[in-house]
Amino acid sequence: MRNIILSIIGILLIVGSFFFAKKLIADKNKPKPVQAKIVKTVFTDTVQNSTIPIVIAANGSLEAKRRLEIYAEVQGIFKPGSKLFKPGQEYRAGQTLIKIDAAEYYASVQSSKSNLYNSIAAIMPDLRLDFPDIFDKWQNYLNSFDLNKTTPKLPEMTSDKENYFITGRSIVSNYYNVKNLEQRLAKYYISAPFSGILTEALVTEGTLIRSGQKLGEFIDTSVYEMEVAISKAYANLLKVGESVALNNLDKTETYTGKVSRVNGSIDATTQTITAFIEVKHENLKEGMYLEANLNAKEESDAIEVDRNLLLETQQIFVVKDTLLDVIDVKPVYFSDTKVVLKNVPNGTIILKKSVPGAYAGMLVKPFEEKSNTKDKQ
């Protein structure tokens, strides 16, 4: 019985092996499925070399070209004026910004002027007797002397004898002492050197002002400057007087400025050179942040493409028949989003937009825009 069971199992194994071998042979001879070719649709552009303007983008904030930091050189009480000394207050050229109480000092100036007048008057009898030829000159000076006005300049002394006589009476020293006092008296009144607006006020009327104290800031609102840092590679391309296009960050307002100054030295840390752009417009305010586009130069026989189309190997993809290929190019200028290239022959078909996973030999199909037009009757 045992031998019969073993014989049946052996026959089953032989039959199973036969069918398994037959299946393997059948699978080997079965044809492999043909993988469908994937053709990517790409956006292309035909190269036409032209002259590309190199525009340097920069940005910065506006500062008033003329500004005045107001400091006190004398001490006293801040007297109220015709206008409140507050930020935003406008003043015309020559208007008084700050008036400090100078009553006590004014009295001392008047006293010194009176002493000068008296000392000159005291020598007039001697001049009539000893120097009759110069008497009229000094008499006319006394007649023009007004205590309420600025002390007039002393008459010119024409001889050594006259000079010794006048100097010996301490008239010259008294005169310069009075002029010194008058100069200091003028410091009690601070006037606007130009028309503008007060941007900072650190004192108010009635407060005690001390010598050397900062009182505020005053700016001219008609002209502003913007400081920008440019790469040293363009140091020789920037020219004073060059027109510059400016716009705000939202690109809703545009202005036109010009390069007013270019720094003569290069920053050793950043390797940049500083240029100053002058701009005038009634809507501008100090501290506004603007973007500038400086026309550096023009590059002939070049094209401008997106930066992401340039490979790290200084190559770009081109389309030849239905395959992608690469060619060597020469980049001459990089901006934030664009790159200017040379050595790209006219008529070359290049990618207009980057293709993820692109490689040389990839099968592609240029995208063709189809426009459906309807006949209007």
Helices (H), 131-259: 132-144, 160-168, 171-186
pLDDT of residue 37: 64
The Cα–Cα gap between 341 and 306 comes to 10
More confident residue, 232 or 346: 346
CA distances (Å), 34 to each of 23, 31, 322, 363, in order? 22, 9, 21, 17
Asked if pLDDT for residue 8 goes beyond 80, the answer is no
The Cα–Cα gap between 328 and 331 comes to 10
- To the nearest 5 percent, what fractions of the chain are helix, strand and coil? 25, 35, 35
The Cα–Cα gap between 346 and 362 comes to 23
pLDDT > 90 in the chain, percent: 38
The Cα–Cα gap between 352 and 367 comes to 10
Give the three-state DSSP class for 191.
strand
What are the extents of the domains in the chain? 44-53+300-366, 55-63+221-297, 66-101+188-219, 104-186
Span 271-300, mean pLDDT? 87
Specify the pairing of strand 364-366 against strand 330-334.
unpaired
Handedness of CA 197, 199, 204, 209 (dihedral sign): negative
The CATH number of the domain covering residues in 66-101+188-219 = 2.40.50.100
pLDDT of residue 140: 92
Give the three-state DSSP class for 54.
strand
Asked if pLDDT for residue 15 goes beyond 60, the answer is yes
Least confident of 75-89, 114-128, 250-264, 355-369: 355-369
Asked if pLDDT for residue 312 goes beyond 90, the answer is no
Give the CB-side neighbour count of residue 236, counting CA atoms within 13 A: 1
Contacts of 202 (CB under 8 A, 6+ apart): 213, 214, 215, 216
pLDDT > 70 in the chain, percent: 92
357 torsion bin: left (phi>0), alpha (psi -120 to 50), beta (else): left
The answer to whether 242 touches 259, Cβ cutoff 8 Å, is yes
Contacts of 58 (CB under 8 A, 6+ apart): 228, 229, 230, 275, 291, 292, 294
Per the structure block, which two tokens stand in for 68? Answer: 């005045």
Asked if pLDDT for residue 112 goes beyond 70, the answer is yes
pLDDT of residue 275: 87
Own/partner contacts of 165-173, CB < 8 Å, gap of 24 or more, are 165/123, 165/126, 165/130, 165/131, 166/123, 169/119, 169/122, 169/123, 170/119, 171/116, 171/119, 171/120, 171/123
Specify the pairing of strand 323-328 against strand 76-79.
unpaired
Give the three-state DSSP class for 264.
strand
The Cα–Cα gap between 84 and 254 comes to 35
CA distances (Å), 112 to each of 118, 143, 172, 205, in order? 10, 18, 13, 30
pLDDT of residue 99: 93
pLDDT of residue 374: 43
Span 266-286, mean pLDDT? 89
Ranked by mean pLDDT, the top range of 180-194, 242-256, 312-326 is: 180-194
Closest CA to 85 of 73, 63, 75, 100: 100
The CATH class, in words, for 55-63+221-297 is mainly beta
Per the structure block, which two tokens stand in for 20? Answer: 């398994």
pLDDT of residue 377: 42
For 201-251, write each residue's pLDDT tens digit.
999 999 999 999 999 999 999 999 999 888 877 777 777 888 888 998 888
pLDDT of residue 61: 92
Q: Structure pTM? A: 0.64
pLDDT of residue 239: 79
The Cα–Cα gap between 223 and 226 comes to 10
More confident residue, 31 or 46: 46
Closest CA to 159 of 131, 192, 179, 136: 131
Per the structure block, which two tokens stand in for 18? Answer: 């036969």
Confidence of residue 111 (pLDDT cuts 50, 70, 90): very high
Question: Is residue 14 classed exposed, middle or buried when 0-12, 13-18 and 19+ CB atoms within 10 A define those classes?
Answer: exposed
Shared fold status for 55-63+221-297 and 66-101+188-219: no
